[in-house]
Amino acid sequence: MRMYDVIAKKRDGGILTREEIAFAVNGYVAGDIPDYQMSALLMAIYLRGMTDEETAVLTEVMAHSGDMVDLSAIQGIKVDKHSTGGVGDKTTLVIAPIVAACGVKIAKMSGRGLGHTGGTVDKMEAVPGTRTALTREEFFRQVNEIGISVIGQSGEIAVADKKLYALRDVTATVGCIPLIASSIMSKKLAAGSDAILLDVTMGDGAFMKNLDDAIELARLMVSIGTAHGRKVAALITDMDKPLGHNIGNSLEIAESIAVLKGKGPADLTEVCLQLAANMLVLAGKGTLTECRAMAERTLQDGTAFVKCCRMFAAQGGDVEMVKDPDKLRKATYSYEITARENGYIAKNDVEKIGNASVLLGAGRIRKEDSIDFAAGIVMHKKLGDKVRSGESICTFYADDPALFAPAEEMYRGGLVISDQQPNLPPLVYARVT
Ligand code: URA
């Protein structure tokens, strides 16, 4: 078989066989197929698409390119959750303790932030001492003992995805539904949980910009997971505004703890409860209504917060800071972004908000960049809110005041204040099963 012929077949709209897909992916991982040929194939897939069958095969080949984690040493049903990415998206830090407090095991591998979106592992490391790289034995023991562990994804999971994602990132081939579905589902299948809830974000801060595409991606991922014997469902959630008010690692830890203590922002709390309830349904804990009530109870009686403290303690984190996030290190400088006119926030581009927080030091532009955990943004006014001229819209935090000007330019570049109050999107658009 020649890679040239595989590329030409897809370029001309053909349907690739299992052998052809395995030849391309495994050859690329082995280093036998060069970047330029794989780039050409990715672009052909981007332009020509893939059938559901091709996407399922691609996912399977990618999943088996690394370790397939066997979680059978952990008793009970293990439920995972994956978000397709967002800004201020700290839901894992809230949902995982809620679900664990309801008696369902969470053995979760999460990612780091890259570009305008944040990652759970970085946020956890904002709590001093927290270890996010555990040995497999430590990981299993912790989940068996306290019901929850969230760690970084091992380099041996879905090795093909790691290489392919890096290539897609520089060849303008990320925004392609079959490639996104296979990328996400290969990691989820390899990570070994019995049930998977997918949070497919939609809006200007997400990969999916409209409901049709979001539903198509969700449907495809659900069908791939189900075909592999996993229980899978998806919620389509809004990403036309960040979740909650805080963006940046320590700031997001503080906001997540507030939700777990029952004092968090309404939007973030609501989305977390819906996601948690759906995870509990997948775990067979009851109907959606029963599971929602169960999730709410863990916030009211403090059991979710206790789970969160136990998880950080077990992973070496300073629990005093989890109990009182005010003790987390603060940025040296702050800076107010004020409204220049009266009106309503009619647009507040989420990608630009995320990029402004990266410019303040809260995220990475390149994989090897270091992060300033204290840096970030606290939003006082969000999409749809009324503002008066001179009123603070948000506060920037950074250790270097020279970072404020470029971050402000970025933030204001996506901000529109108008007389017209915009229609607000729902928090959750749809559920796909
Ligand atoms: N998240 C992933 O893991 N992969 C993609 O392709 C897009 C989002």
Residue 187 alpha carbon, nearest atom of ligand 1: 3
Alpha-carbon distance of 361 to 433, in angstroms, equals 39
Nearest CA to ligand 1 atom 1: 84
What pLDDT, on the 0 to 100 scale, is given for residue 99? 98
Helix (H, G, I), strand (E, B) or coil at 1: coil
Q: Is 113 in the pocket of ligand 1 (CB under 6 A)?
A: no
Rounded distance between C-alpha atoms, residue 136 and residue 156, angstroms? 12
More confident residue, 119 or 46: 46
> Using CB atoms within 10 A of its CB, is residue 155 exposed (0-12), middle (13-18) or buried (19+)?
exposed
The DSSP output letter for 16 is: P
Backbone angles phi, psi at 276, to 5 degrees: -60, -45
Q: What pLDDT, on a 0 to 100 scale, did the predictor assign at position 232?
A: 97
Sign of the torsion angle spanned by Cα atoms 365, 367, 371, 373: positive
Tally DSSP H helices, then E strands, for the chain.
Answer: 17, 13
Q: Which atom of ligand 1 is nearest to the CA of 174?
A: 6
**In the chain, pLDDT over 90 holds for what percent of residues?**
88
Query: CB of 84 closer than 6 A to ligand 1?
Result: yes
pLDDT in tens, 178-233: 999 999 999 999 999 999 999 999 998 888 999 999 999 999 999 999 999 999 99
Q: How far is the CA of 37 from the centre of ligand 1 (A)?
A: 21
Contact 334, 397 (CB under 8 A): yes
Q: Which pLDDT belongs to residue 370?
A: 84
* Annotation marks residue 161 as catalytic: yes
CATH number, span 330-418: 3.90.1170.30
The one-character DSSP state at 151 is: E
- Tell which one of 84, 182, 220 to mutate to probe ligand 1, the residue whose CB is within 8 A of the most ligand atoms: 84
CATH assignment, 3-49: 1.20.970.10
- How far, in Å, CA of 107 to CA of 145, rounded? 12
- Integer-rounded Cα Rg, in Å, for the chain is 21
Kindly state if the Cβ of 148 falls inside 6 Å of ligand 1: no
pLDDT for position 114: 67
pLDDT band for position 335 (cuts 50, 70, 90): very high
Q: Which amino acid is at 139?
A: F
Q: What number does the ligand 1 atom closest to the CA of 179 have?
A: 6
DSSP annotation of 84:
-
Same fold, 3-49 and 79-323: no
The domain segmentation of the chain, as residue ranges, is: 3-49, 79-323, 330-418
What would the pLDDT profile of 94-133 be if each residue is shown by its tens digit? 999 999 999 999 999 988 776 777 789 999 999 999 999 9
- For 379-429, how does the pLDDT look when each residue is reduced to its tens digit (9 = 90+)? 999 999 999 999 999 999 999 999 999 999 999 999 999 999 999 999 999
Nearest CA to ligand 1 atom 7: 180
Res. 313 pLDDT band, cuts 50 70 90: very high
Q: Is 82 a catalytic residue?
A: yes
The residue nearest atom 2 of ligand 1, judged by CA position, is 184
pLDDT (tens digit per residue) in 268-296? 999 999 999 999 999 999 999 999 999 99
DSSP codes of every residue in 241-281: S-SSSEESHHHHHHHHHHHHTT-S-HHHHHHHHHHHHHHHH
- Tell me how far apart the alpha carbons of residues 273 and 233 are, in angstroms, rounded to a whole number: 15
Fold of 79-323: Pyrimidine Nucleoside Phosphorylase; Chain A, domain 2 (3.40.1030)
Q: Ligand 1 within 6 A of 180 CB?
A: yes
**Does residue 119 contact residue 110 with C-beta atoms inside 8 Å?**
yes
Helix 3-11 / helix 35-48 crossing angle, nearest 10 deg? 20
Tokens for 91, please give them: 């839901």
Contacts of 14 (CB under 8 A, 6+ apart): none
CA–CA dist 184, 206 (Å, integer): 15
Whole-structure pTM over 0.90, yes or no? yes
- pLDDT value for 144: 94
Q: 329 C-alpha vs ligand 1 centroid, how far in Å?
A: 31
The residue-averaged pLDDT of 340-348 equals: 96
Produce one character per residue of 239-250: b if its CB has 16 or more CB atoms within 10 Å, e if not.
Answer: bbbbbbbbbbbb
